[in-house]
Amino acid sequence: MTHGWGVRELAIGTADGRGLHLLTDGQGNWATGNGEPLPSLNGCVDVDLAGTAFTNTLPIRRLDWAAGQSRELKMAYVPFDSFQPVVDGQVYACLEPGRRFLYQASDRSFQAELSVDADGLVTDYPSLFSRVL
């Protein structure tokens, strides 16, 4: 990750030996860890890992937001059952700068209101994640 909350590399693995290693230039061009281009992910600037609210923080922190502003983004989505990244369209809308965002699937099949702390880290993602202090 860069100082501006941009992704440059993703390396994940499991105890059973499965894993994924991706590289990106931060401009939407992706490659395998060995440098083999992945044109299917072209245009994705952020990554979204299934099952974690941390990756929702990336576009929230990377972009400047004003109340009511909405953006449609292309994500390199990585489901944990297959570790096969795919393009996933997502819409973020700023409900309250630095506090609340509406996350939606581009096809509007899912949405959740995300609460974030002063650092932009997601503290509550209904039905998936809630930070416990």
Give tens-digit pLDDT for 21-65: 999 999 999 999 999 999 999 999 999 998 888 899 999 999 999
* Angle, CA of 43, 48 and 52, to the nearest 5°: 170
Indicate whether 2 belongs to any domain.
no
What pLDDT, in 10s, does the model give residues 66-98? Answer: 999 999 999 999 999 999 999 999 999 999 999
Looking at the structure of the chain, the number of domains it has is: 1
Residues 6 or more apart from 12 whose CB is under 8 A from it?
Answer: 19, 20, 49, 78, 83
Q: Flag whether pLDDT at 12 surpasses 90.
A: yes
Residues 6 or more apart from 85 whose CB is under 8 A from it?
Answer: 20, 22, 30, 38, 41, 47, 76, 77, 78
Indicate whether 32 belongs to any domain.
yes
Indicate whether 3 belongs to any domain.
no
Regarding beta strands 100-105 and 111-116, do their DSSP bridges make them parallel or antiparallel, or are they unpaired? antiparallel
Q: Which domain holds residue 67?
A: 9-130
Indicate whether 116 belongs to any domain.
yes
Indicate whether 84 belongs to any domain.
yes
